[in-house]
């Protein structure tokens, strides 16, 4: 058994080297950029009006009110044309090019147009440059606008569009295979015989992967049979990552670790000083990695979040792929047998004073129904037997924290 931090370190040390691929920008949302992208043009591409109003020479209106002659209009989408003469104003729309000769725009609310439209009175003065966004002021051609490593969210997607990037190079998503082992398991759409239960790990791991933008190839249930487990491991090794649930404990039919060795994998660790999730196995063969997660639903869930998420997030290029850790006030005293660090289902809420962490009533590490109300996990360190109400404690937020909020 190794400590959690050591397990995480070994995982990060044994990940395959990151690969990249070039994809259509229209599917770039949610990916991580693997190249620097530069401005392909000046932004804005012309001196642009920030408001609806009148383009003027600021010197002309230094002693307002001043009446100017209306010399046409500049609307969004039109080309910069003509030259503003002395004593002239041009009606201008937000986003439209400022005509040559004008050095400021007065907003429409501070103007009054004559009845016949031929003249406009500017009611207050403007500084030179006021309400004009100068050509190239937001980006100049060739300057890096998105660096390698940037997560591509909605605003970054907008930037790709602005500069006309049709393709971008991003970190490649790993291919993932998923299998569940256990003689007691039947699929969710089957009726369990006496002594059997439905397999819930494959659906929940698939959902956890989806939160990372990943989809797994499901290899089905393998029974507790050496030949069958070996077959499914070899099948899974055709993908970048194999996730197995069950078969990693110390029972007489827990073959997974042994067969991973037989299949030529190096066991990077087996057993972590946490609860739940202790028997987690992490193995590697070249660029392929295998996670063996303990089989009860909560152990599978927690092990995934603690080990698989940071690993796969890192392969996808995310800078901070682990769960977000915060400190807060415990609303209720809790205790545990203290030989391992415990992760206890909790509901976190934000108050003016900080995070409030409510440990949830649950019936232990197979009670997924009680566990499912959690939006975070309270961390009880190995060296503390109990923590009191009001004590400052640590917790991690689950990745779908927002959706799980109920206020």
Least distance from a second copy to the Cβ atom of residue 207, Å? 4
* 123 Cα distance to chain centroid: 49
Residues 353-382, interacting with a second copy (CB under 8 A): 354, 363-372, 374
Q: Which of 56, 89, 91, 260 binds a second copy (CB under 8 A)?
A: 91
What is the C-alpha to C-alpha distance for residues 88 and 67, in angstroms, rounded to an integer? 9
Contact map string, positions 316 to 355, toward a second copy, x by CB under 8 A: --xxx---xxxx----------------------x-x-x-
Q: Which of residues 255-294 bind a second copy (CB under 8 A)?
A: none
- 245 is an interface residue for a second copy by CB under 8 A: no
Answer yes or no whether residue 96 interacts with a second copy by CB under 8 A: yes
The answer to whether the beta carbons of residues 245 and 222 sit under 8 Å apart is: no
The count of residues interacting with a second copy (CB under 8 A) is 116
Cβ-contact 45, 141 below 8 angstroms: no
Under rule CB under 8 A, residue 25 binds a second copy: yes
Contact indicator for 296, 365 with CB cutoff of 8 Å: yes
- Minimum Å distance from CB 222 to a second copy? 12
By the rule CB under 8 A, 23 interacts with a second copy: no
The residues in 97-156 that bind a second copy, with binding defined as CB under 8 A, are: 97, 108-109, 133, 137-139, 145-146, 151, 153-156
Least separation in angstroms between residue 284's CB and a second copy is: 25
Site for a second copy in 202-241 (CB under 8 A): 202-208, 210-211, 223-224
The widest CA-to-CA distance across the chain, in whole angstroms, is 96
Please pick, from the candidates 158, 227, 234, 386, the single residue that binds a second copy as defined by CB under 8 A.
Answer: 158
For a second copy, the closer of residues 7 and 98 by Cβ is 98
Give the separation between CA 183 and CA 226, rounded to whole angstroms.
12
Spatial distance between the Cα atoms of 310 and 18, rounded to a whole number of angstroms: 14
Q: Which of 138, 128, 129 is nearest to 45 (CA)?
A: 138
CA distance 78 to 150: 34
CA atoms within 13 A on the CB side of 354: 13
Q: How far is the CB of 318 from a second copy (least distance, A)?
A: 6
Beta carbon nearer to a second copy, 331 or 366: 366
Looking at beta carbons only, is 63 or 337 nearer to a second copy? 337
Please, are residues 95 and 49 in contact by the beta-carbon 8 Å criterion?
A: yes
**Selected binder of a second copy within 99, 174, 182, 277 (CB under 8 A):** 182
301 binds a second copy (CB under 8 A): yes
Q: Judged by CB, which is closer to a second copy: 28, or 265?
A: 28
Identify which range of 2-10, 119-127, 158-166, 270-278 contacts a second copy by CB under 8 A: 158-166
CB 162 within 8 A of CB 43: yes
Helices of type H across 163-296: 201-210, 226-236, 256-262
Q: Which is nearer to a second copy, 163 or 307 (CB)?
A: 163
Q: Which is nearer to a second copy, 17 or 406 (CB)?
A: 406
Contacting range for a second copy; rule: CB under 8 A; set: 93-101, 168-176, 230-238, 259-267: 93-101
What is the dihedral sign for C-alpha 367, 368, 371, 376? Answer: positive
Are 47 and 309 spatial neighbours (Cβ–Cβ below 8 Å)? no
User: Do residues 68 and 91 make contact, with C-beta atoms less than 8 angstroms apart?
Assistant: no
- Least distance CB 155 / a second copy (angstroms): 4
Pick the closer one to a second copy by CB: 63 or 189: 189
6 within 8 A of 149, measured Cβ to Cβ:
no
Which helix (H) or strand (E) segment is 7 a member of?
helix 4-13
Among 86, 128, 197, 227, indicate the residue that binds a second copy (CB under 8 A).
Answer: 197
Residue number, 200 or 382, with CB nearest to a second copy: 200
* Alpha-carbon gap, residue 41 to 43, rounded angstroms: 6
170 binds a second copy, rule: CB under 8 A? no
Tell me whether residue 115 or residue 191 sits nearer to a second copy (CB atom).
Answer: 191
By CB under 8 A, name the one of 14, 20, 80, 228 that touches a second copy.
Answer: 80
Enumerate residues 6+ apart whose C-beta is below 8 A from 234. Answer: 263
First and final CA of the chain: distance in angstroms?
40
């Amino acid at each position: 058994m190794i400590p959690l931090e050591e397990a995480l370190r070994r995982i990060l040390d044994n990940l395959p080297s990151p690969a990249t691929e070039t994809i259509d920008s229209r599917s770039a949302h949610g990916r991580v950029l693997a190249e620097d992208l530069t401005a392909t043009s000046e932004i804005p591409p012309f001196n642009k009006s920030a408001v609806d109003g009148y383009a003027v020479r600021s010197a002309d209106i230094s002693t307002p009110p001043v009446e100017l002659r209306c010399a046409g209009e500049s609307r969004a989408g039109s080309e910069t044309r003509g030259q503003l003469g002395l004593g002239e104003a041009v009606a201008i729309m937000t986003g439209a090019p400022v005509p040559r000769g004008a050095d400021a725009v007065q907003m429409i609310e501070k103007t009054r147009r004559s009845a016949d439209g031929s003249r406009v009175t500017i009611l207050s003065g403007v500084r030179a440059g006021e309400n004009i966004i100068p050509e190239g002021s937001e980006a100049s051609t060739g300057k890096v606008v998105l660096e390698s490593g940037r997560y591509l969210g909605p605003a970054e997607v907008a930037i790709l569009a602005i500069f006309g990037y049709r393709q971008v190079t991003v970190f490649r998503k790993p291919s993932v295979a998923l299998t569940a082992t256990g003689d007691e398991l039947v699929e969710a759409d089957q009726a369990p015989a006496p002594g059997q239960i439905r397999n819930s790990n494959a659906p929940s791991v698939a959902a956890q992967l989806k939160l990372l933008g990943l989809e797994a190839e499901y290899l089905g249930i393998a029974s507790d049979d050496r030949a069958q487990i070996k077959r499914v491991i070899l099948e899974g090794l055709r993908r970048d990552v194999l996730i197995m649930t069950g078969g990693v404990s110390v029972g007489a039919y827990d073959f997974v670790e042994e067969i991973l060795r037989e299949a030529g994998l190096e066991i990077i660790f087996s057993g972590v000083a946490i609860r739940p999730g202790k028997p987690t196995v992490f193995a590697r063969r070249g660029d392929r990695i295998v996670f063996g997660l303990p089989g009860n639903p909560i152990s599978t869930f927690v092990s995934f979040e603690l080990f698989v998420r940071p690993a796969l997030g890192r392969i996808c290029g995310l800078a901070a792929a682990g769960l977000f850790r915060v400190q807060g006030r415990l609303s209720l005293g809790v205790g545990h047998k203290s030989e391992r660090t415990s992760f206890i289902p909790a509901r976190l809420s934000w108050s003016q004073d900080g995070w409030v962490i409510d440990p949830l009533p649950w019936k232990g590490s197979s009670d997924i129904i009680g566990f499912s109300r959690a939006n975070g996990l309270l961390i009880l360190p190995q060296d503390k037997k109990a923590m009191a109400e009001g004590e400052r404690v640590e917790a991690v937020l689950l990745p779908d924290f927002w959706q799980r909020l109920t206020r």
